[in-house]
Structure formats: C-alpha cells, structure tokens
Amino acid sequence: MAETEKDMLLIETREHVAYITLNRPERRNALSLGLQSALVQAFSDAGENDDVWAIVLTGAGDRAFCAGGDLKEMDEIAREKRRFPVPMTGLHRNVFEAVLETYKPTIASLNGPAIAGGCELALACDMRIAAAHATIGMPEVKIGMGANFASVLLPRLVPRAIAFQMLYTGESLTAEEAARHGLFNAVVAKENLAVETERMVREIVANAPLTLRRYKEMATKGWELSVHAALRLNAGPNPYLSEDREEGIRARLERRPPRWKGR
C-alpha cells in the first residue's frame, strides 16, 4: 500500500504542546517530498493554533531522528528525468525555513542521529535535546549536494571553524561534541529522552504564551539587524499591554501560579 502523508507524520496536541513525530522508522525517518509537505503543513497549523504554545519534534524508533533526504526517491527522480527539487525554488515552501519561521518555541528531541537534511531540520528548531547515541552531521559534500540551509545556519550557531569542519569533511559530531559546541542543550540516556524532553517543554509552557511568541519573533526577525534597529522592531504580540501581564504580576504578588489566557 502506498505511503500517505498522514502515515508519515504523527501529530498530537496535549496541554498546549504540539508533538510532531516523523514516522518512517523503516527508512530512518528520511525526508521524502511527501513528508516535507506534511511537515510544512503541521508547523503552519501549530503556528496558527492559539492553543499551541510550544512544539516538540522527534522521530519514530531509535535508529535515527532523521537520516536526511530520501535518497531512493532522489535517485528515482533522476532516472525518470524529472525536475530535481532545488532549495528555495518551485511551488512549495522550504521545510527548514517553515520550521525556523514558526513563531513559537520549538524543541527537537533527537532520538537518534540527525544527518544531512535531518541535521538541518534539527538546526531549524530553537533547542535540541539528544539521546546519548544521537550524532549530528552534514555529509552532503560526500554525495554532491549543497547543504543550502546548514551552510547559512551552522556558522551562526557554532564557531565558524567548527561549522566549516562539519561542512567540508562531512563528518558527524558525537552528542558530547555537539553539546560542547552549543548545538545540543542537553544529552541524556536514551531511555530518559522522552521524560527529559517533557520536563523541558513543560518548563517552557508554564510561562506566558504571548511573551514566548514575542521572544521567538523578535529573536528570529532581529537576528541580523543592528542592536538599534532590532530594539525598534516591535515584532510579535505586545505582552506589555496584555491581560497576561496584569495576571502575571498579580500572581507573583499573591504568591500563586499565574492563570494564562494568551491575551
């Protein structure tokens, strides 16, 4: 039976968190064109859903978070002389850009290696928590690809020399190396990944949702601006004039948990 976009991606929303799971464990969660399309739609839906305050992205199984593009599908495209999907062109939005520009906190929970496009997918998220066996790397140079997204993001996230080492050699970093360079926020035992991811995301969504969105949008849109320009950007919802700001201050004074409304 043919694989459908619905089969490739599992989506659950629970207590203000959207859990999105790549569901192609037999293919190491490789990014087929169908899966990429489903991911763009899932992140778009979560971004527009006021009941979603944060997003967790992970993969099924423990062999890989995501092994990158579906090489078998790419080979079929080449053999059939069809147009190869070039990043940032064509009819459909680039999946990594769509994840990066989802203006809510995003966590990649790396249940295994994040390789090539899987690395780029992890880089597009705000934070990364990894099982101890999860490596991260960009082997695109070994197969003649371009690493379009990673070549831009990596030098912004790690020291320039480390970024070029990853890009030029195509070799992966271990979880410990990635954590040392700031790519991973935490490395945990494989059996503890789900629990520690949940702890991390619950700590985030305990906070004011409008402020979370404000942080994400300001940090993303102001990334390459001067300090003076970024301070005047005023991107995202304005928490200063919100009901939640009144509630947050009152709750602090009354020594109780705040009751956020997202407005």
The residues carrying an active-site annotation are 120, 140
**What string of DSSP letters covers 212-223?**
HHHHHHHHHHTT
The string of pLDDT tens digits covering residues 104-123 is 999 999 999 999 999 999 99
**Average pLDDT taken over every residue of the chain:** 92
The string of pLDDT tens digits covering residues 25-67 is 999 999 998 999 999 999 999 999 999 999 999 999 989 999 9
Residue 83 has pLDDT above 90, yes or no: no
Per-residue pLDDT at 7: 86
* Number of C-beta neighbours around residue 153 at 10 A: 18
Domain locations in the chain as residue ranges = 5-205, 209-253
In angstroms, the CA 208 to CA 241 distance is 13
At 78, the pLDDT band (50, 70, 90 cuts) reads: low
At 70, the pLDDT band (50, 70, 90 cuts) reads: low
Residue 220 has pLDDT above 90, yes or no: yes
Per-residue pLDDT at 93: 79
Residue 1 has pLDDT above 50, yes or no: no
SS3 169: helix
Residue 12 has pLDDT above 50, yes or no: yes
Mean pLDDT of 189-214: 98
Residue bearing tokens 């409304």? 261
**What string of DSSP letters covers 146-175?**
--HHHHHHHHHHS-HHHHHHHHHH-PPBPH
Structure tokens at 259: 């009751």
At residue 126, φ and ψ (nearest 5 deg) are -70, -40
Between the two ends of the chain, the Cα-to-Cα distance in Å is 46
Lowest mean pLDDT among 5-9, 78-82, 103-107, 188-192: 78-82
Q: Choose the CATH number for 5-205 among 3.40.109.10, 3.90.226.10, 1.10.1060.10, 3.40.50.280.
A: 3.90.226.10
At 87, the pLDDT band (50, 70, 90 cuts) reads: low
